[in-house]
Amino acid sequence: MNEKKIYEGIIFDLVRKDVLINGKTYPRDIIRHPGGVGVLCVRDGKVLLVRQFRPAISEETLEIPAGKLEYGEDPMKCGLRELNEEAGMEADELKLIQILVSTPGFCDERIYIYEAVNPQTADHFLAQDEDEDVDSLWLSIEEAYEKVKSCQIKDAKTIIALQHAMLNR
């Protein structure tokens, strides 16, 4: 159906698309986003989280290491890069936990959630993006999950990853 770009941004684009529902055409505003990747990193019963300020919600968050994909980028390569940039860690490989569609009513973003296999401190550290100020910390899986239950952790990808960690500890 017909689609027209309304706005082109640095993180997402906004399009107006005509969609056919029950034989009738309706306009819909849709955010086009390249997607993201989050990495659950568990070592010795502890989970790696990063703390950062999120301007969209004006709050500091605790999240698993994560980042935005570039269009066409391999999610696994992005995840390995973000794990290193944000926390100085690397892994032998990443195992897919889930693909999250956060807001399918108006956004096409997909977030790939991986688990780091054999995580270790990186031999070579990648610099954080210049527009990031991220600190990392390790919490026991149980302590991190308590922060989910008390609504101190609100980020969807992190909640899914921590639920996975709790089920597989």
Question: What are the tokens at 69?
Answer: 């994909």
Cα separation of 14 and 6, whole Å?
5
Instruction: Specify burial of residue 76 (Cβ count, 10 A radius: 0-12, 13-18, 19+).
Output: middle
From the list 130, 132, 142, 146, the catalytic residue is 130
Q: Could you give the count of Cα atoms lying within 13 Å of 48 in the half-sphere of its Cβ?
A: 25
Distance, in Å, from the CA atom of 87 to the CA atom of 65, rounded to the nearest integer, reads 7
Q: Is 130 part of the annotated catalytic residue set?
A: yes
94 vs 134: CA distance, rounded Å: 22
Task: Compute the Cα dihedral for 82, 112, 42, 163 and give only its sign.
Answer: positive
Known catalytic residues?
A: 130
